[in-house]
Chain A
Amino acid sequence: MMIKRILKKTLLQKPFLKKECKLHGGIKLQGFKSLSNATAVQILSVPPQLIIPLKQHIGEAAKPIVNVGDLVYKGQIIAEPNGYISSPVHASSSGVVAAIEARPIPHASPIKETCIVIHTDRKDQWHPFVQSTPEPLALPPEDLRQRIRDAGIAGLGGAVFPSAVKLKPTSDITTLIINGVECEPYITCDDVLMRHHADAIIQGALLLARIVRPQKIIVAIEDNKPQAFQSVTNAINRLKAAGAAAANTIHAAQVPEIFPAGGEKQLIKVLTGKEVPSGSLPYELGIICINVGTTAAIYDALYKGQPLVSRIMTVTGEGLDAPGNYRVLLGTPIHYVLANAGVARQHNAEVIMGGPMMGVAIADHAAPVVKATNCLLIKNTRQIRQPPASMPCIRCGRCATVCPITLLPQQLYWHARSKEFDKLPAYHIDDCIECGCCQVVCPAKLPLVHYFRFAKSELKARERERKKADVSRLRNEARQVRSEKARIEQEERKARRKAARKQVITPETNPDQSTPDSLNASSLQGVAPEPQTHENTSMVKHEDQTKTMAR
């Protein structure tokens, strides 16, 4: 019976796999998803202090518009976007602004960035401005997009690119992909969201469709999440039963379980067979890809009027008391999340933000949960194994066979290790998504991703320095031109003054000489010959200035 079922399953899936799985490389990983996806989303309490970083998105950091001591309500804008690719920041709960200062942020280094610190009053009171809209689908698309921007929504899959920017493509969109793949092990926040809030995702997708007008909407779900798939399919069927015309354009698709099929460009390849070229964005192919969590947040923003002040996040790891998914207010300190999710505060516990493949170990547990925090993976002291000793690269090429971007990781490693950074762009290091597949299969256990991150940040720093040097060169050249001009003018002025003095001394002897500089000379007539007065010089100066302007 069991064998029959498995056979049936594989037989059914085989042609599907062959047809759909067009991704190069990738690897199958053990999921560890059942650790955290069994229970529904729990709500984490309001912490006594919220630390809200001004930069939780890609782009420019927001500008604070509140002062220390101000009373703020939940959902109130406390920092405005600074530029087009930027996003506002909202108070996640009601309370008093206690400080606007540099605080640790969730990062691999104990770096500090400007945050707005709020002492909460535990009332969790919404701002009166937060009002629900009964029929957002009736609003004009541009209005919807503006509301998404005002709600501070950025990609919740981890890349946190401001969604409103993504939703203003310059070309026609044929396909809207709602990304529910979630291919990283351990992370289940999108899984439980799809299981329990599929309606919000589908309604959110229809709102997005109103903005970008695609021909079809695909909700992509990995085939290791049958319950989520069922739940989403049911939601679509309910919509069809209700007679919504838009329901016919939307369908759920299962994608084969392979890491990293959930990456934006990888998912597009898996679903459509199209490859987004290096340096291009999906909209250039007429595709927009948005995470399910983001879609649900857009639903909340447009129907309920609630800006992005909280997110669903997985807290997981082996040996935890209560691994699961929590709705956490943005700005909640990580140690508060750990304490309330049944993780005893251990100084040595290693906390990884994101999954085991692409996440980074957080240096400071006082750092807050931000829009990008989809998962906290906790490794207890006992579980932190000494990483295996790495050995020299034997150039076996396994890394190249699993690389989903078809890069040559061994070559990248070679040059990064010897710090020949200028050779790396030729091997397209910028296209590396740091998925870690190469590192998993490497028989020499080399920390390849670390090398790539090291080289990438070094290249970025050099690029910044080069840009700054170019600006400095231009400014220095402009300054030299200016000082040269000033010097010449001064010399001319001196020469003229000298000539003028001569004329004043002997005005009668040679009156014709004044003709080339008649204005100057006439202005000097009737003035005492010596010493030259201040008025005269200023007159000359004035004339010079007019000349300069005319030039």
Chain B
Amino acid sequence: MLIIATAALVFGVLLGFAAIKFHIEGDPVVDKIDAILPQTQCGQCGYPGCKPYAKAVASGEADINQCAPGGEQAVMALAGLLGREPKPLSAELGSGNSDEPMVALINEETCIGCTKCIQVCPVDAIVGAAKHKHTVIEAYCTGCKLCLPPVCPVENCIVMETVRPTATLWKWPEPARFSEPMRGAGS
């Protein structure tokens, strides 16, 4: 009895110590989910950003198929991480997402310098000041489309452009399957 009590006390102290010593800040599952998400911060999932969506998925509040920019790849990765069945992308997301990477472009002729787009940009990719022309830093733009009208009060001022393909960005196409002629690679 005494031995068991002592052992319980020792383990209790040990566990208490371990809980303080190895305490992990934040939720590791949320961080893992967040790492899979593309960080477009577009809010198409119904949450105000990727992290809130990650939290919602972790708590079971949101489904894994709500991320439009992540597409099938993200759904598969989330399914793998959480041990759930993969499913097709939610139908509510619509078909406005192209596979091509897009960036916003501000037409400097029509920009009135209202700073509204600067206020909504989730990654601070727009520079400019009140009553001065604004511009998008292409390297930082995630293509979230949050700055498009109605946020931008001017029609045809902010438009989405596909990123111009370069040799560095180019991807080899998938080789044809068996018994089909293949092309491209040196024979």
Contacts and interface: CB of A to CB of B under 8 A. Distances in A.
Interface of A: 55, 102, 105, 107-109, 111, 113, 352, 354-361, 386-387, 389-392, 436, 439, 447, 449-451, 453-454, 456-458, 461, 464-465, 468-473, 475-479
B179 A476 contact: no
Of the listed residues B170, B172, B178, B187, the one surrounded by the most CB atoms of chain A closer than 10 A to its CB is B187
Contacts of A107: 167, 170
A298 B141 CA distance: 42
A486 to B, nearest CB: 11
B166 A113 contact: yes
A476 B172 contact: no
B61 to A, nearest CB: 20
26 contacts: A107-B167, A108-B184, A111-B165, A113-B167, A359-B186, A387-B182, A389-B179, A391-B178, A436-B185, A439-B187, A447-B182, A450-B172, A450-B182, A450-B185, A451-B175, A454-B172, A454-B174, A456-B172, A457-B170, A471-B140, A473-B34, A473-B39, A475-B123, A476-B41, A476-B122, A479-B123
Interface string B64-98: 00000000000000000000000000000000000
A69 to B, nearest CB: 25
Contact of B123 (A109, A111, A360, A476): A476
Nearest to A455: B172
Contacts of A451: 175
Nearest to B73: A462
Contacts of B38: 465, 469
Nearest to A106: B167
A461 B140 CA distance: 16
B87 to A, nearest CB: 19
Interface of B: 34, 37-41, 49-51, 122-125, 140, 142, 164-167, 169-176, 178-187
B39 A476 contact: yes
Contacts of A477: 51
Contacts of A111: 165-167, 170
A358 B124 CA distance: 43
Contacts of A475: 123-125, 140
Nearest to B123: A475
A453 B122 contact: no
A475 B39 CA distance: 10
Nearest to A355: B186
Contacts of B142: 468, 472
Contacts of A478: 124
A412 B4 CA distance: 56
A457 B170 CA distance: 8
A458 B37 CA distance: 18
A54 B15 CA distance: 63
A439 B125 CA distance: 46
A417 to B, nearest CB: 8
Nearest to A108: B184
Given A392-B178, A469-B39, A472-B40, 13 more contacts: A108-B172, A108-B184, A387-B183, A389-B180, A390-B179, A436-B186, A450-B175, A450-B185, A454-B171, A461-B171, A469-B38, A471-B140, A476-B123
Contact of A461 (B164, B169, B187): B169
A354 B186 contact: yes
B172 A472 contact: no
A472 B41 contact: yes
Contacts of B186: 352, 354-361, 436, 449
Query: Which 4 pairs between the two chains have the least Cβ-Cβ distance?
Result: A450-B185, A472-B39, A469-B39, A475-B123
A392 B178 CA distance: 7
A113 B166 CA distance: 6
Contacts of B178: 389-392
Nearest to B185: A450
Given A111-B170, A469-B39, A478-B124, A450 B184 contact: yes
A109 B169 CA distance: 12
Contacts of B169: 461, 464
A462 to B, nearest CB: 9
B22 to A, nearest CB: 25
Contacts of A454: 171-175
B39 A109 contact: no
Contacts of B165: 109, 111
Contacts of B140: 471-472, 475
B19 to A, nearest CB: 27
A360 B173 CA distance: 14
Contacts of B180: 389
B49 A476 contact: yes
A468 B125 CA distance: 13
A390 B182 contact: yes
Contacts of B183: 361, 387
A345 to B, nearest CB: 21
B49 A447 contact: no
A472 B167 CA distance: 24
Contacts of B166: 111, 113
A479 B166 CA distance: 31
Nearest to B186: A359
Nearest to B80: A422
A449 B185 contact: yes
A469 B37 contact: yes
B8 to A, nearest CB: 43
Nearest to A392: B178
Given A113-B167, A451-B175, A472-B140, A386 B181 contact: yes
B173 to A, nearest CB: 7
Contacts of A472: 39-41, 123, 140, 142
B124 A479 contact: yes
Of the listed residues B166, B173, B180, B186, the one surrounded by the most CB atoms of chain A closer than 10 A to its CB is B186
Contacts of B184: 108, 360-361, 450
Given A111-B170, A355-B186, A472-B39, A387 B175 contact: no
A456 B173 CA distance: 11
Contacts of B173: 454
Contact of A387 (B50, B51, B167, B187): B187
A410 to B, nearest CB: 15
Contacts of B124: 475, 478-479
B71 to A, nearest CB: 11
Nearest to A464: B169
A113 B165 CA distance: 9
A461 B164 CA distance: 15
A456 B165 CA distance: 17
A476 B52 CA distance: 12
A203 B164 CA distance: 44
Contacts of A392: 178
B168 to A, nearest CB: 8
B156 to A, nearest CB: 24
